Amino acid sequence: REARLGVRRPVLYKELLNNSYTWNPLAFFRLYGLQPLPEGAATQVGVGQFNPGPDKAANLRRIGELARDARQAGAKLLVLPELSLTGPYAGAQMAETLDGPSVTGLIELAAELDLYLVGGLVEADRGTLYNTAVLVGPQGLLCSYRKIHLSAQERTWAEAGGQWCIHDLPFARIGLLIGEDAQVPEAGRILALKGCD
């Protein structure tokens, strides 16, 4: 229990104070200039499962295969494993910036297939490393999320992120979480309070 409490970030949980039962969500997100919810639609979402390795080009090829299969099956969004682009952390040399070849390749794939993709990487930004997930689409990079709740092993190499990632697609409001975030109930609840599908 202590380990689970130790990863919590209460300063990022202010939305938990909202009483979500007081308002109709469709009305709530139109108040005070807040971003209205997307219209939404029945949409197929794919999950691409594989074990990413240190060969980034091989990871991208496998993602391409999974994305083509998902698109052929009618998916509009494909969610890939944590660190799917770079593979698990094995040293700072594997890290990339958000405009690096792996994210660029993912964007090109999204444009080719007219598909939204969620992938992950070890992100380098001004000398700091993050466990990051990106949401890309035919338009390019739509949002990036730096994992907020790090495991003990991740804390040896990564810095925790400090904000939630939410983006409206034509068919849904998307919020990103990574791995350990799912072990912290506040994380999913906050995304729900922000109107994520």
Using one digit for the tens of pLDDT, what is the confidence trace for 40-96?
788 999 999 999 999 999 999 999 999 999 999 999 999 999 999 999 999 999 999
pLDDT of residue 18: 67
Number of H helices, E strands in the chain: 5, 7
Average pLDDT over every residue of 13-35: 63
pLDDT of residue 38: 76
Q: Which of 3-7, 84-88, 104-108, 191-195 has the lowest mean pLDDT?
A: 3-7
pLDDT: is 125 or 19 the higher one? 125
161 φ, ψ (degrees, to nearest 5): -75, 175
Beta strands in the chain (DSSP E): 45-47, 77-79, 116-125, 128-137, 140-146, 166-169, 172-175
User: Is the model's pLDDT at 105 over the cut of 90?
Assistant: yes
Contact present, 134 and 143 (Cβ < 8 Å): yes
Instruction: Indicate the pTM of the whole model.
Output: 0.86
Calculated CA dihedral for residues 2, 194, 104, 40, nearest 10 degrees: 140
What is the band of 2 on the pLDDT scale with cuts at 50, 70, 90?
Answer: very low
pLDDT of residue 190: 87
Between CA 123 and CA 25 the distance in angstroms is 34
pLDDT: is 120 or 34 the higher one? 120
